[in-house]
């Protein structure tokens, strides 16, 4: 474990190759409200949403990552938030079962995409919203509940992947998915190296109940604690490759904290997509496994 000395030194960080699934927000709008950010009375600008999303897409490619696309379905304005489209580890995809009727029609499209792309596709029995509420941190799955994914989905996801699950209860309706209140900063290095997992996280303490905060403090003593101010601009809804951390330009304090820890924050503004209650991470589903061999050969070229 790190001593105070090593904790204050700037550790060397390494970027790791990522493969993501995204969905262009061609049909983006806010015409219903299923979270406190969504105000159907406020106008949305689909072209602006697409332009902002495109910057994120282009950045991932610039960083050397691979991005797959799923066809946007008309009538499903929230489909841009692909993090809710599944949870994928080792080529196996656990399909979501959305809490709200407005999004339920997205699930079959994601299931079809996984099957067509060679994933071992597991249909759910329990309500769950994919990587919005499940985050892989080292060898364990951090699982959110309280607003969307049901507690029983935590047992199910544990069985599907044969991994330990840490249940975290969300208590602030603005932070209704785990990925709005917590971000995993480091890659999964435990398994790859045959050693214990060493993942670090950043989170917004007040978004969790006391028991969950305690669990986080015990498991992640070096975590970055993010201010309410940075949390409120969706600073934690970010994507990290282990070195580059894509965050909202409005999360000033978090940007500084990341730099101090040796990460490279890159600012991408998705203000239009925030009108739907989503940000960078919401628009990004990590695809672990299946075709990763192919990507490694490509990356090495």
Binding site for ligand ARG (CB under 6 A): 34-35, 38, 78, 81, 83-84, 103, 132, 177, 179-180, 276-278, 282
For ligand ARG, give the closer residue by CB, 121 or 180: 180
CA triple 228-141-167, angle to 5 deg: 65
Query: Closer to ligand ARG at the Cβ: 65 or 103?
Result: 103
* Shortest Cβ 7–ligand ARG spacing (Å): 30
Nearer of residues 198 and 250 to ligand ARG, judged by Cβ: 250
Token duo for residue 220: 């992640």
Find the shortest distance in angstroms from Cβ 68 to ligand ARG: 17
Rounded to whole angstroms, the Cα distance separating 163 from 161 reads 5
Which is it for strands 92-94 and 87-89: parallel, antiparallel or unpaired?
antiparallel
283 is catalytic: no
List the catalytic residue out of 16, 65, 154, 177. Answer: 177
What is the Cα 221 distance to its own chain's centre?
A: 21
Closest distance of CB 2 from ligand ARG, Å: 30
**Phi and psi at residue 290, in whole multiples of 5°?**
60, -90
The 285-286 sheet, strands edge to edge: 66-69, 19-22, 285-286
User: CA 77, 80, 81, 85: dihedral to nearest 10 degrees?
Assistant: 100
- Least Å distance, CB 218 to ligand ARG, is 25
Q: Which of 146, 138, 187, 153 lies closest to 168, judged by CA?
A: 146
φ, ψ dihedrals at 293, nearest 5°: -60, -45
Q: Where are the alpha helices (DSSP H) in 14-144?
A: 46-62, 101-104, 106-116
Residue 287 C-beta: closest distance to ligand ARG, Å: 15
Kindly tell me which of 169 and 180 has the beta carbon lying closer to ligand ARG.
Answer: 180
* Side-chain half-sphere CA neighbours of 101 within 13 A: 1
Is-catalytic flag, 177? yes
> Three-state SS string across 6-38, please?
HHHCCCCCCCCCCEEEECCCCCCCCCCCCCCCC
Nearer to ligand ARG, 66 or 179 (CB): 179
- Tell me which residues are annotated as active site: 177, 282
């Amino acid at each position: 474990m790190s001593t105070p000395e090593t904790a204050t030194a700037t550790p060397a960080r390494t970027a790791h190759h990522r493969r993501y699934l995204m969905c262009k927000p061609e049909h983006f709008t806010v015409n219903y409200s299923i979270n406190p950010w969504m105000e159907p009375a406020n106008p949305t600008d689909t072209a602006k949403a697409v332009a902002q999303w495109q910057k994120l897409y282009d950045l991932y490619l610039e960083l050397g990552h691979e991005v797959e696309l799923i066809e946007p379905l008309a009538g499903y304005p929230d489909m841009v938030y692909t993090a809710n489209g599944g949870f994928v580890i080792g080529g196996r995809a656990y399909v979501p079962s959305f809490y709200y009727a407005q999004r339920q029609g997205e699930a079959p499209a994601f299931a079809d995409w996984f099957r067509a792309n060679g994933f071992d596709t597991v249909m759910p029995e329990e309500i769950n919203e994919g990587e919005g509420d499940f985050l892989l941190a080292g060898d364990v799955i951090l699982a959110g509940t309280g607003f969307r994914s049901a507690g029983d989905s935590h047992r199910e996801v544990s069985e599907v992947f044969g991994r330990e699950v840490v249940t975290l209860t969300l208590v602030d309706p603005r932070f209704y998915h785990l990925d709005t209140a917590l971000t995993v900063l480091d890659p999964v290095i435990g398994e790859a190296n045959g050693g214990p997992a060493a993942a670090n996280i950043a989170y917004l303490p007040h978004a969790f109940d006391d028991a969950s905060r305690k669990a986080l403090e015990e498991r992640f003593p070096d975590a970055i604690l993010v201010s309410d101010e940075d949390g409120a601009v969706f600073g934690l809804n970010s994507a990290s490759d282990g070195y580059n951390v894509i965050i909202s330009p409005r999360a000033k304090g978090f940007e500084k904290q990341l730099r101090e820890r040796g990460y490279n924050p890159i600012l991408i503004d998705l203000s239009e997509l925030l009108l739907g209650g989503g940000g960078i991470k919401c628009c990004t589903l990590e695809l672990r496994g299946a075709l990763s061999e192919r990507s490694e050969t490509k990356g090495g070229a």
